[in-house]
Structures are given as C-alpha cells and as structure tokens.
C-alpha cells in the first residue's frame, strides 16, 4: 500500500506520512458522497452561498498557517504562498457572489407558441485529481464552482502535499459544509480509475501531466463520464520590435520564475524580434540573475527550491540534453551541490528541434530564448508546439496585438502582460494542454446539466 508524505524540499526532512485508504474505505466515501448529493443539490442557494463566503473568510483568517504548509510541503516562498491563499479566498467569494446569476434559468427565443428555458442543475458526485504546484488554488478552481452548483466531490491530491489536502477538507467543514459533500481521499491511481468507473460518480477533473490526463480521460471515455483535463503548457512570450523592452523583460522574469517556474501557464519560450533581441536578452538575463534561490521561509525570498529532487533531476536532464546538442547557456545551467531541491535561474539560447527543450515542458526556472525575424515567424514558432495553454505578446501596436491574439493556437492570450489568474477569467487550453475550462461561468457550467424545459402552452 502506498503512502502520502510531507518532505520539506528545502531540507529533505520528512515530517508526516499517511497511508492510502483501502478499497472498502473508498467505496464508503463514494456511498457517502452519493447520499450527500441527494440533499446538497436541493439545499437553498443562500446556505450554499453562506458556506462559500465562510470558506473565503477562513482562508483569510488562517492565511499565515495555510501559507506555512505550502512552504513546508512544496517549497513555495512564503510571500507567494500568502498570495495563493488570498487568490483562493477570492475564488470562493466569487462563486458565493455569482451562484444565483449562474443558476438562473435562461429563456430561449423559439419559434412557435409557449416558452422554453434552459435550467442549470448539478449532475452528481465528482472525482478531482489535483497536483502539487498550487495545492490550494488548483483545488479551489474545481471545488468552489461545483460546491456552489450542488455537486459533491471526492478529491485525490498529490502525494507530496497531504497536510495541505487535509487543511482544505478541514476548512470546508469548519465553514459548515455538510459531511460527504467534500471528502479528501488518499488513494492510488488504480483507485482513481475505479472511482471514475463507478456508476455513482458522474465526472472527473484532473490537473496534471499529459500522461495522467490521457489515462484518466481514457477511463472517463470508456465509462461515458464528463471530464475536464487541465494539462501542461509551453507558453510563448512574444516581444515585437515596437515593444516596451523594459516592461517586457521585467514581466518575463516574473512570468518565468514565479512559483519556481513550476506552473503550466509560466512563460517558457521567449520569441524576440531581431530589432530588440540583444536589448531584451541583456535585461532579461540580468533580471533572472536577481532571483537567486534562497530559504523559502524568508519573506525576502522570491525563488525557493523546486518541490522535489525528482523535479530537479527531470529539469536538469532537459537542460543538459540541450547543452550537449549545442545550446548556449546565458545564465545558470547546472544543478548546484548541497542539500535541497534547488535549481538556479537558467536561460538557454540556440535551442533547436533536435533538443528536448524545444518541444517538452520545462517545469522549473529555465527559459528558452529564440530570435525571430518577423511577426509571421513569431506566430509560426509560437504555434510550433504540442501545447496550447496561455501566451503573451508585447507590442505598442494594437493591430499587431489583435492579429497575434487571433492567430495564436492557445486558450488564453495576454497583451503586454505575463499570464495571470483571476476568478472571473476562464482558464484552459487546446491541443495537448487539455479539455474544458475552469473559473468564471465557464468553469461553473462544465459539470452542470443544461436541462431544457419546454412548455408549448406556457406564457
């Protein structure tokens, strides 16, 4: 039987271990989730709103305690950890504030007599499979809208953040969520598949790797269950010749290094037009050098360790592969000696198609810069990726910005900004970056039944 462990990535020290639950215990969780759904789906919206509002309040009240868990379990610098908690509070509050609007009947313009409306209803128990890079935020994107809608949730979190997972469950229960509406489950991949296949479960949401997404999506497909898959990204960051280079370089550093670069929407491929390439690279490298790895518990630290030594090893393999095939290292480029899962800010140039770093996701503080000779070349190179999550373009020409936003094959485009997240903005991608959307009303509707109610003789 497997385990879930807290291992401090800054020191390697293990502080907590939890065993997986048995198949019988998982079956009991599904039974309770199905029973809770029957009552939660008909609970007054005012009560659901109150639970969500109180959940937001508890995140704010317990921000310091919650942030420390993030720092302990995945090495997030404490200032960024507090920022994640604040974002999570805003997500729960957003759905509390908007659930009535999102659930309102939608009248249809029809031919013939009578009325027709589309009614938004929940569909039942759901399984969530969530990653370690934003332990609270990733869960909130899935849990908040579905709790508001009336669905119930069984949540399998990542193995390296069990205490964060338990904290989420605890806060929801403290906020007044009835038993069974949300349940943390320390389960295996095989148990996830069994839960998704269970007739009582009606859908699954996964945020993680393409491999995990393909596996869960296959199980969902075989069992005709709705799925949302938020997967990887290799986001392009385009800087055109007319851009504000200072602003672009500063945004690029933050976009690449926040959360240790361990974000699917992090800026990863920097496509810089000829006329500003040298200037941008000089300023970008200098900015990257200013984020040296440090103690994640210090409020001054901006770059902590990666979440695990395994993550360091995987990242370094991609970097060393690129170097061995002729890539130029502009800064960083080698794993440091000493304890902790640290990796320095790294910038690679001259990355070509025969290098893994050209097409694979660099999940850490490593950027690739490409020189392009035109707007067309920038768009072509940006789209030359199996991924299509988010993207950025820096330009002072609105017509160019509009063209880039139309032609990029991504789910999100940011103009003169690195990619960010907000409760009222839909989140998701295309191609290998996944299926479906989270946040805003789009995330609310993913696991809803859009029921037609037609009354030919109605008024």
Flag whether 143 is in a domain: yes
- Residues 263-290: tens digit of each pLDDT: 999 999 999 999 999 999 999 999 999 9
Do 208 and 251 belong to one domain? Answer: no
**Confidence bin at 459 (pLDDT 50/70/90):** confident
- The pLDDT assigned to 237 comes to 98
Residue (of 116, 132, 125, 192) closest to 164 by Cα position: 132
Do 208 and 298 belong to one domain? Answer: no
- Residues 34-67: tens digit of each pLDDT: 999 999 999 999 999 999 999 999 999 999 999 9
Write down the residue that tokens 């332990």 correspond to: 135
CB 382 within 8 A of CB 238: yes
Flag whether 313 is in a domain: yes
Flag whether 333 is in a domain: yes
Do 225 and 239 belong to one domain? Answer: no
Give the Cα separation of 444 and 42 in Å (integer): 17
Do 178 and 244 belong to one domain? Answer: no
Q: What is the rounded average pLDDT of the residues 69-75?
A: 98
Indicate whether this model's pTM tops 0.95. Answer: yes
Do 87 and 116 belong to one domain? Answer: yes
Give the Cα separation of 259 and 432 in Å (integer): 22
Active-site annotation holds for 409: no
Report strand pairing: 3-7 vs 14-19.
antiparallel
Selected catalytic residue, list 20, 227, 264, 446: 264
C-alpha dist (Å) from residue 206 to 147, 153, 226, 412: 17, 13, 11, 19
Domain extent for 279: 235-422
Report strand pairing: 115-122 vs 448-455.
antiparallel
Q: How many domains does the chain have?
A: 2
The DSSP output letter for 36 is H
- The pLDDT assigned to 48 comes to 98
Flag whether 428 is in a domain: no
Selected catalytic residue, list 20, 84, 169, 230: 230
Show the tokens assigned to 335.
């794993």
CATH number, domain containing residue 150 = 3.40.605.10
- Residues 190-242: tens digit of each pLDDT: 999 999 999 999 999 999 999 999 999 999 999 999 999 999 999 999 999 99
Q: Determine what percent of the chain is predicted with pLDDT higher than 90.
A: 98
C-alpha dist (Å) from residue 421 to 134, 138, 186, 413, 429: 12, 11, 28, 12, 14
Do 80 and 151 belong to one domain? Answer: yes
C-alpha dist (Å) from residue 65 to 54, 97, 345: 17, 26, 29
Do 289 and 224 belong to one domain? Answer: no
- The pLDDT assigned to 190 comes to 97
CATH number, domain containing residue 374 = 3.40.309.10
Do 179 and 327 belong to one domain? Answer: no
Flag whether 255 is in a domain: yes
Flag whether 270 is in a domain: yes
- The pLDDT assigned to 265 comes to 97
What count of other Cβ atoms lies within 10 Å of the Cβ of residue 9?
26
Show the tokens assigned to 80.
């960024």
Q: What is the rounded average pLDDT of the residues 125-137?
A: 98
Residue (of 43, 81, 45, 93) closest to 299 by Cα position: 81
Do 86 and 190 belong to one domain? Answer: yes
Flag whether 196 is in a domain: yes
- Residues 394-420: tens digit of each pLDDT: 999 999 999 999 999 999 999 999 999
Write down the residue that tokens 């009614």 correspond to: 119
Do 208 and 258 belong to one domain? Answer: no
- The pLDDT assigned to 338 comes to 86
Flag whether 427 is in a domain: no
Q: Is the pLDDT of residue 331 over 80?
A: yes
Do 155 and 249 belong to one domain? Answer: no
β-pair partners for 452: 118
DSSP string, 116-169: EEEEEEE--EEEEE--SSSTTHHHHHHHHHHHHHT-EEEEE--TT-HHHHHHHH
C-alpha dist (Å) from residue 359 to 206, 328, 414: 22, 17, 21
Q: Is the pLDDT of residue 1 over 80?
A: no
C-alpha dist (Å) from residue 237 to 254, 389, 395: 12, 12, 11
Q: What is the rounded average pLDDT of the residues 123-132?
A: 98
Active-site annotation holds for 264: yes
Do 221 and 323 belong to one domain? Answer: no
């Amino acid at each position: 039987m497997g385990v879930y462990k807290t291992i401090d990535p800054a020191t390697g020290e293990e502080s907590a271990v939890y065993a997986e639950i048995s198949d019988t215990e998982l079956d009991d969780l599904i039974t309770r989730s199905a029973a809770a759904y029957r009552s939660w789906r008909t609970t007054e919206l005012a009560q659901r709103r109150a639970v969500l509002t109180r959940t937001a309040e508890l995140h704010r009240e317990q921000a310091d305690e919650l942030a420390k868990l993030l720092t302990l379990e995945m090495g997030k610098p404490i200032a960024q950890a507090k920022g994640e908690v604040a974002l999570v509070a805003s997500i729960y509050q957003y759905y509390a504030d908007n659930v009535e609007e999102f659930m309102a009947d939608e009248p249809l313009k029809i031919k013939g007599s009578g009325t027709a409306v589309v009614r938004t209803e929940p569909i039942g128990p759901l399984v969530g499979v969530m990653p370690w890079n934003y332990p609270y935020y990733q869960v909130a994107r899935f849990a908040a809208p579905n709790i508001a809608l009336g669905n119930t949730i069984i949540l399998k979190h990542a193995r390296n953040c069990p205490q964060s997972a338990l904290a989420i469950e605890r806060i929801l229960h403290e906020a007044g969520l009835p038993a069974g509406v949300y349940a943390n489950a320390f389960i295996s991949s095989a148990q996830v598949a069994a839960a998704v296949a269970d007739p009582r479960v009606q859908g699954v949401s996964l945020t993680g790797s393409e491999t995990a997404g393909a596996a869960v999506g296959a199980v969902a497909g075989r069992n005709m269950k709705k799925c949302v898959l938020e997967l990887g990204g290799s986001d392009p960051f385009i800087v055109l010749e007319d851009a504000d280079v200072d602003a672009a370089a500063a945004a690029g550093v933050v976009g690449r290094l926040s959360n240790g670069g361990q974000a699917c929407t992090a800026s990863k491929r920097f496509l810089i037009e000829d006329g500003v390439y040298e200037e941008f690279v000089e300023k970008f490298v200098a900015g990257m050098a200013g984020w040296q790895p440090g103690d994640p518990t210090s409020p001054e630290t901006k770059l902590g360790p990666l979440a695990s030594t395994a993550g360091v090893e995987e990242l370094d393999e991609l970097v060393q592969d690129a170097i061995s095939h002729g890539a130029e290292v502009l800064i960083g480029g080698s794993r440091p000696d000493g304890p902790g899962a640290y990796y320095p800010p790294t910038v690679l140039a001259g990355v070509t198609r025969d290098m893994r770093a050209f097409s694979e996701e660099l999940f850490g503080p490593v950027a690739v810069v490409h020189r392009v000779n035109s707007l067309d070349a920038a768009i072509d190179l940006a789209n030359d990726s199996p991924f299509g999550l988010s993207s950025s373009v820096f330009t002072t020409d609105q017509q160019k910005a509009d063209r880039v936003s139309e032609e990029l094959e991504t789910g999100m485009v940011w103009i003169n900004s690195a990619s960010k997240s907000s409760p009222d903005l839909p989140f998701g991608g295309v191609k290998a970056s996944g299926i479906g959307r989270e946040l805003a009303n789009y995330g609310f509707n993913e696991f809803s039944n859009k029921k037609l109610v037609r009354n030919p003789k109605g008024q």
